[in-house]
Amino acid sequence: AAFLDRAVAAGRMSIPDTSLAAEQFSGLCLAGTSRPLLFSYRTTYPDEAEIAATVRSAVHMFMKSYAVKAV
């Protein structure tokens, strides 16, 4: 949240609740990797490429929602 607070203060992001947004980002990163293991609907660990792809997707989705668009 502190990182996001700085991005908002610098005008790079528009986030009304940075604590919630930090939780949302964390959830996006865990969605395709850790959560399936936690709830036992996946039995193998993701490899580094799968983890990287999941995080890239999370960053993309998060930035589409919260990044300030250049005018």
**What pLDDT digit, counting tens, does each position of 16-27 carry?**
999 999 999 999
Token pair 């039995």 is found at 43
Q: What is the pTM of this model?
A: 0.78
Tell which wins on pLDDT, 67 or 41. 67
Token pair, residue 58, equals 């999370």
Query: In whole angstroms, what is the distance from residue 30 CA to residue 55 CA?
Result: 8
Query: In whole angstroms, what is the distance from residue 33 CA to residue 58 CA?
Result: 12
Query: Which pLDDT does position 70 carry in this prediction?
Result: 55
Residue 71 confidence (pLDDT) above 80: no
Tell which wins on pLDDT, 10 or 30. 10
State the average pLDDT for the chain: 90
Query: Which pLDDT does position 39 carry in this prediction?
Result: 82
